[in-house]
Amino acid sequence: MNKPETTHFGYRQVPVDEKQKLVGRVFTSVAAKYDVMNDLMSFGVHRLWKRWFAATSGVRAGDAVLDLAGGTGDIVALLLPRVGAEGSVVLGDINAAMLHAGRDRLLNCGFVRNLHYAQLNAEALPFPDRCFDAVTIAFGLRNVTDKQRALSEMQRVLKPGGRVLILEFSTIKSEFLKPLYDFHSFKVLPRLGALIANNPESYQYLAESIRKHPGQAALTAMMEAAGFANVDVRNLSAGSVAIHRGYKV
């Protein structure tokens, strides 16, 4: 018998049809402490990355925006003021616990109008062709099983001239910083996960998933293969994080 097709879950190889379930367990388990852990893991710098991401997104009044892997709503909260009363934002996430956490947080912050929620899979978006001006995804693409299919779906739902914006961990460019980055990822993060979230395994996976995610050049090639034009990359924090942008022509 042929062996089942496998993919990576962190550094483990697992059957393709199991990865989504395993990733779901990770994010269900960390949802309650997700925002606190993000602040601790990045020393608060993730807030600056996300603000820069929104500020350079090109999203403007009247735009219809889909935010994938929207989680606890950080990006949505930054984009809603930009789309204004005539625009709209859909917060989409595959994980119910994360989606509920995002909804509760945004409601507590007073965000109600022009905001919609959808539990969805980025590989099979439940929207018609050419209906969004922008699709954003922040720190979520690396958890998608079939990234190429997800990129193609993003391209499909964009209007001509629309853009995809991807904020994700990437390949650090500084040889000096790499040992420090590895130490933080594999020694500090799991211990923080154990101390704060009582869940070191999930944060070990998150560190490993960063290393398995395509680097800047590889992700650029994948976006071009999905049909995006004028793809560009902006490195942040020595390339530990990158913003990829592409357009639908």
Q: What is the pLDDT of residues 229-239, one digit of tens each?
A: 999 999 999 99
Q: What is the pLDDT of residues 104-147, one digit of tens each?
A: 999 999 999 999 999 999 999 999 999 999 999 999 999 999 99
CATH of domain 6-247: 3.40.50.150
**What is the rounded average pLDDT of the residues 159-168?**
98
Alpha-carbon distance values, 124 to 10, 95, 102, 156 (Å): 23, 14, 21, 10
pTM of the model: 0.89
Q: Identify the band that residue 207 occupies on the pLDDT scale cut at 50, 70 and 90.
A: confident
**pLDDT confidence of residue 197:** 73
% the chain with pLDDT above 90: 67
Tokens for 213, please give them. Answer: 């995610």
Q: What is the pLDDT of residues 46-100, one digit of tens each?
A: 999 999 999 999 999 999 999 999 989 999 999 999 999 999 999 999 999 999 9
Tokens for 94, please give them. Answer: 């595959």
Give yes or no for a contact between 145 and 19, defined as CB atoms under 8 angstroms apart.
yes
Give yes or no for a contact between 72 and 102, defined as CB atoms under 8 angstroms apart.
yes
Give yes or no for a contact between 125 and 156, defined as CB atoms under 8 angstroms apart.
yes
From CA 119, how far away is CA 239, in angstroms rounded?
A: 31
Task: Give phi and psi for 165, each to the nearest 5.
Answer: -130, 120
- Domain ranges for the chain: 6-247
